[in-house]
Structure 1
Amino acid sequence: GSSLRKPPILFLPIFLYSTHPLSCFLSSTVPAVLCPFTQLFPVTSSPHGDEDIAYHIKEEVACNLPQNTCVCLADKETFQMPFSNLLFPHVWAHKIDHAFLESHPDPEGVKRHRAQEYSSFQRRSYSPADELIVAQANNPLQYPTQGVEVRPLKTIIIPGLGLEEEKRPKHTVYLTATLGTFDVAATVDNVSVSGEGEKHMILLSPYLSALNRQLQFVTYTNTVFHPKTADTVKFATKDHQSFFTIKVGHGTIPRLYNTGYQREYNISALVTIATKTFLRYDKLKDLIDSIRQYYPTITIVIADDNEHPLPVTGPHIEHYIMPFGKGWFAGRNLAVSQVTTKYVLWVDDDFIFTANTKLEKMVDILEKTTLDLVGGAVREVTGYTATFRHIISVEEGGEEGDCLHIRHGYHHVIEGFPDCVVVDAVINFFMGRTDKVQQVGFNPRLARQAHLEFFIDALGSLHIGSCSDVIISHASKIKLPWSKTDAQKAYDKFRYSPSSADNNIHNEVFYFKNRFKCMTSH
């Protein structure tokens, strides 16, 4: 029936338009055949002075090249017959931008906001290693040293190929790949090409200029699907050879958050506060009361693994019950998994907000830098303020495993934020990009004592900072033994009396999961 051609899409426009900068959505079991090859041929400029040499487009190859634009075209219905959609499935098209913007009260505003969010995403995800660099002919081969990418099972022109050598009766180059095949998108007179559509191709010509012109049209088609890998291509003459890589992979789909366009930060729309509680409902109540004093409408997500949970109610509170004693990291996973805002703020249930707990400062540095996570400072009742800044490094150690080194300190001050530094681990009061924190996750096997383990897993994934000018208070832990309640005694038993099994789990995690053989620390 028609449901095969047009599945329910009521939820798609706001999700796809807001989180992914897509303008259309195509679906079918049969790909659409689109080949509007009417533009100038997408070849790069050449230093060999061969741009005037004529070429002949090879349409069956050229039509597979990316056109740097996408279209939303549905198949036209030509005939109707029973079960025709099952036998001959049609491409249906849904214009997400039209569907979302035509009903939005401020379409131009949301377009500007999405463009701003996308620009920020590009700044964070940019890497100089992705830039195209071509090594000029000096050996005498010219080829791209980095920056060549192809989508899985798609076709591209290989940029930058060239040959610079003395005149000879015959000029020949060879191309060899492992995960794909070669072809030419256009042919050039007086050039012989063999091996089209194969992993090994030979190009030969008595004229160097003609060969260089032909090299501008060499294509690579990935034939082995993998979401993220690379093919090493050999480019050679009889006497010389070179190698370069072609990245094979899907592009990174942005995850943008539609928080509304405004001049000032709307903390309630940008941030969710997450915490876990266990046997400390009195402390949790104090935390919530302090948050409400400064941020009355911010959402608070609470993970609770008490044996006899009590109701925690109130506006903008989400209370999730877990199995008894499930543990701290499991609670972190649960709480963070329910966050839908751009940022998540983690706090312990015995923290207290003060006038110095300015979440706007944390949001400001995350919005204006490439940081993924920023920690604050915790002030104890003694007046001491801790930032818990650490540098983490891993030293290769051979077959027995690597060495983990943890040191107090930081890498450098962040430009424009004199109270903030770049680190690898921060204190237990931090704000992070929700999707990046979820990406790293928390090991639920670490139930009682764990903190650095998260940042060890995040090494190489998260860009982390620490700011000393955002401060939260820590409720007093000083209790005389005879004044402790039964709940406090039970909490101390769970929290401060780790069993040998707990120690074994930590050792196993470091030894097996992280492949460490030793750890050094201050």
Structure 2
Amino acid sequence: MRAKYKKWLGVSLVSGLLVALLYAWSPGTSSGVEIRPRQESLIKELLKGKIQDPISGNHDIVYHIKEDLACRLAQNTCVCLPDEETFQLPFSNLLFPRVWAHNFELAFLESHPDSKDIKHHRAEEYSNFQKRTYNPADVPIVAEANSPLQYPTQGVEVRPLKTIIIPGLGLKEETRSNHMVYLTASLGTFDVAATVDGVSVKGEGEKHMILSSPVLSTLNRQLQFVTYTNTVFHPKTADIVQFASDGHKSFFVIKVGHGTIPKLYNTGYQRGSCLCVFLFYLEYNISALVTIATKTFLRYDKLKDLIDSIRQYYPTVTIVIADDNEHPQPVTGPHIEHYIMPFGKGWFAGRNLAVSQVTTKYVLWVDDDFFFTANTKLERMVDILEKTTLDLVGGAVREVTGYTATYRHTISVEEGGEEGDCLHIRNGYYHVIEGYPNCVVADAVINFFMGRTDKVQEVGFNPRLARHGHLEFFIDALGSIHIGSCSDIIVNHASKIKLPWSKTDSQKAYEKFRYSSSSADNYIHKEVFYFKNRAFLAFSRLRILSGVRPSNLLISSLKKLRLP
């Protein structure tokens, strides 16, 4: 009896697996997320919204929707649904992997004490993100038919391997026996989301498509339904599409790329407002918004002074310290994170480590020999970053002599030949920021700056620059970070004036490491500019200030080159 039961169980299991395999291999089945519209009216509404007829007089021409293609068009109303579990078999998850979905909104908000406020805060953050990332080149613009071809000049974008309707295609020409246009692409194929009676379409689903009709209005109507499907995956590229007729030829660009994923920070801060002397102001929770980062080496006395000064004004702000001393000393206290590095790992490596541990929206960089005063207003830096498109804002450093340095520079690259490009670094700035008379836009600022954490991490610091470096970060950031500088946000610089006989062993060791320049260090700096940045020459009008030491390459440029 037992043997018969085992035999029956084995046959049942094998039969079940065979049925499951046949079901999986049968045509027409899919384990993907369902994106097909439930009703035809959704397709019609989509086409109606996508198609803006730039050539009048075509509205009454009948068209027939190609539902199998039109349903693939983006509807901008994403709904992620998991697959339903239809049956259970051994190893069914391996044979039939189901689509998994997790509602983050539901999971997060149901446990949040104030879901309405957090949703509003996220919406506000996203709105600011959109303002920062807005690019006028992304706005669709249609070129009027001067050639007589009409086509979009910019703003056409498709996601990798997805389908869109190409907006704005049209033809304006004198009546003739037959009107014909051609479309040619390299990274995708053409089709039509609907067919129009009296129009011949050849090359559907191919890289080259021909449309023709004896009636111009019906051809223009058909052009409103032309689709483009990307067939070559690339996260960010573009397809140059040729749009031509007999005797005329034009080109336009379809950008291919993934959408930008926002990087929003749930700061949890409460912004309060009050009417005071008829002025509206905002309060920022600096502890939730800002982390202070620094790098220390052989200057624990200066580091202690920095921490004490910070705690006088910002007692709960997190301080991240990167430390590459040979014999590290404990640095403890509330809201302090102390990270030990290999001995002498270096200046930029320490910056990378410190910044990598920041989880707040903004990071403030300070040197370990700075100290805060009543003029070190982090709230003002936050306010500027919150209300402008700037990604980073620098302050000013007041020396013991009373001189206040802002170290503002503009950087530009002049295209060169085979030898490389020319890097221009000049004192100065571009223009004053409206509403902030003491703030300007520049490309490089002093060693006291606050930036959006994700943008600073995105650029990073070259860990090969061990003993000195500053401008190199801003050269790497050129074109990707929008930078400002404010002269009324000031941090003080500890005095470096020491009599030779009064210097401690630690101070002597620091100067030996900091200011000595080996041939290996010089070589690395030259390689960074020449090879990494492909710079042929570095031109600079660089004022050398107390406490500000530019790289050796830039100093040598001052000596060897006649500056513009």
TM range (shorter): over 0.9
The CA distance in 2 between the partners of 1:198 and 1:87, in whole Å, is 34
State which of 455, 464, 474 in structure 1 corresponds to 2:493.
Answer: 474
| 1:262 counterpart letter in structure 2 | R
Q: Which residue of 2 aligns with 1:16?
A: none
CA contact (8 A) 1:379 1:473 kept: yes
Q: Which residue of 1 aligns with 2:271?
A: 262
- In the alignment, is residue 416 of structure 1 matched against residue 424 of structure 2? no
| 2:234 counterpart letter in structure 1 | H
| 1:33 counterpart letter in structure 2 | E
The CA distance in 2 between the partners of 1:400 and 1:369, in whole Å, is 39
1:393-404 to 2 correspondences below 5 Å = 393-404=412-423
CA contact (8 A) 1:48 1:209 kept: no
The CA distance in 1 between the partners of 2:312 and 2:503, in whole Å, is 28
| 1:34 counterpart letter in structure 2 | I
The Cα offsets for residues 157-195 of structure 1, whole Å up to 9 and x where unpaired, read as 000000001111111100000000001111110011110
Q: Secondary structure of 1:38's partner?
A: helix
The Cα offsets for residues 266-308 of structure 1, whole Å up to 9 and x where unpaired, read as 0000000000000000000000000000000000000000001
Q: Which residue of 1 aligns with 2:484?
A: 465
The Cα offsets for residues 406-452 of structure 1, whole Å up to 9 and x where unpaired, read as 11111000000001000000000000000000000000000011000
Q: Which moved more, 1:148-157 or 1:29-38?
A: 29-38
Q: Which residue of 2 aligns with 1:499?
A: 518
Share of identical aligned residues, percent?
80
CA contact (8 A) 1:179 1:222 kept: yes
The CA distance in 2 between the partners of 1:132 and 1:30, in whole Å, is 36
State which of 32, 46, 49 in structure 1 corresponds to 2:57.
Answer: 49
Structure 2 segments unaligned to the other structure (5+ residues): 1-29, 273-282, 542-564
Q: Secondary structure of 2:517's partner?
A: coil
Q: Which moved more, 1:94-103 or 1:393-402?
A: 94-103
- In the alignment, is residue 189 of structure 1 matched against residue 197 of structure 2? yes
- In the alignment, is residue 379 of structure 1 matched against residue 398 of structure 2? yes
1:355-394 to 2 correspondences below 5 Å = 355-394=374-413
Q: Secondary structure of 2:254's partner?
A: strand
Q: Which residue of 2 aligns with 1:440?
A: 459
State which of 171, 186, 193 in structure 2 corresponds to 1:163.
Answer: 171
1:65-84 to 2 correspondences below 5 Å = 65-84=73-92
The CA distance in 1 between the partners of 2:392 and 2:101, in whole Å, is 38
Q: Which moved more, 1:29-38 or 1:99-108?
A: 29-38
The Cα offsets for residues 33-67 of structure 1, whole Å up to 9 and x where unpaired, read as 32115321232233232011111110111011001
1:374 deviates by 0.3
1:30 deviates by 4.6
| 2:263 counterpart letter in structure 1 | R
The CA distance in 1 between the partners of 2:204 and 2:260, in whole Å, is 31
The CA distance in 2 between the partners of 1:161 and 1:457, in whole Å, is 40
- In the alignment, is residue 319 of structure 1 matched against residue 341 of structure 2? no
The CA distance in 2 between the partners of 1:190 and 1:369, in whole Å, is 54
The CA distance in 1 between the partners of 2:301 and 2:485, in whole Å, is 29
Q: Which residue of 1 aligns with 2:553?
A: none
The CA distance in 2 between the partners of 1:34 and 1:252, in whole Å, is 22
TM value normalised by structure 2: 0.87
The Cα offsets for residues 296-329 of structure 1, whole Å up to 9 and x where unpaired, read as 0000000000001011000000000000000000
Length, aligned pairs only? 494
1:77 deviates by 2.0
Q: Which residue of 2 aligns with 1:253?
A: 261
| 1:133 counterpart letter in structure 2 | I
The CA distance in 1 between the partners of 2:288 and 2:296, in whole Å, is 24
1:262 deviates by 2.1
Q: Which residue of 1 aligns with 2:7?
A: none
- In the alignment, is residue 514 of structure 1 matched against residue 522 of structure 2? no
| 1:415 counterpart letter in structure 2 | E
Q: Which residue of 2 aligns with 1:488?
A: 507
Q: Which residue of 2 aligns with 1:31?
A: 32
| 2:172 counterpart letter in structure 1 | E
Query: In terms of Rg, which structure is larger?
Result: 2
| 2:480 counterpart letter in structure 1 | S
The CA distance in 1 between the partners of 2:524 and 2:143, in whole Å, is 50
Q: Which residue of 2 aligns with 1:180?
A: 188
The CA distance in 1 between the partners of 2:435 and 2:513, in whole Å, is 43
The CA distance in 1 between the partners of 2:92 and 2:198, in whole Å, is 49
| 1:80 counterpart letter in structure 2 | Q
| 1:56 counterpart letter in structure 2 | H
Q: Which moved more, 1:260-269 or 1:362-371?
A: 260-269
